[in-house]
Amino acid sequence: MTTDTSDLKAHIRGIPDFPKPGILFYDISTLLRHGPAWRTAMARLADAIRPHKPDLLAGIESRGFLVAAPLALELGLGFIMLRKPRKLPGLTIGLNYALEYGTDRIEMQADAVQKGQRVVLLDDLLATGGTMAAGISLLRQSGAEVPCAAALIELTFLGGRKRLDVPFEALVAYDE
């Protein structure tokens, strides 16, 4: 790992065959533990998100929390969580969505967003786009406007951006 913060890819390691054979996992833990590079990543995301004038930031469980919460603090905004079923207290609303093989569900607290609030959705990585598209739909179901979505990493070869109907920002992209 390098100490240069300008090349964020140098702070993200690829782990082959995780979580199963044939998958190259992009591990952000090496970025998270390098303070100057992590600060650079948050500053760059803040610059990308600020023009969309969000009222709140939402993070997708669980690595999206690591991106959205500190970014919300950086921008002086509130933060809300989109989680797996039965993980949030109080009344929740949820959305079932299709995966490549099966279905999944995400939920949020029913009172997390006021109608018309601008909420930017964040995750650590955009792959096929299914979870992020579902998150956008869930936020809209709650009455939010979603001006954009963002992630640290985009796997462009999986085409996830095409599934999103909002502008999308990523700090780094991998083409294969």
- Residues labelled catalytic: 63, 100
Q: Taking a C-beta distance cutoff of 8 angstroms, is the pair 51, 119 a contact?
A: no
**C-alpha separations of 2 from 38, 44, 45, 90, 161 in Å:** 13, 18, 21, 44, 29
User: Vertex 154, ends 24 and 114: CA angle to 5°?
Assistant: 125
Return all residues near 14 (Cβ < 8 A) that are at least 6 apart: 24, 25, 26, 27
**Residue 87: beta bridge partners?**
none
Per DSSP, the three-state class of 132 is helix
**C-alpha separations of 58 from 15, 35, 50, 69, 110 in Å:** 27, 23, 14, 8, 14
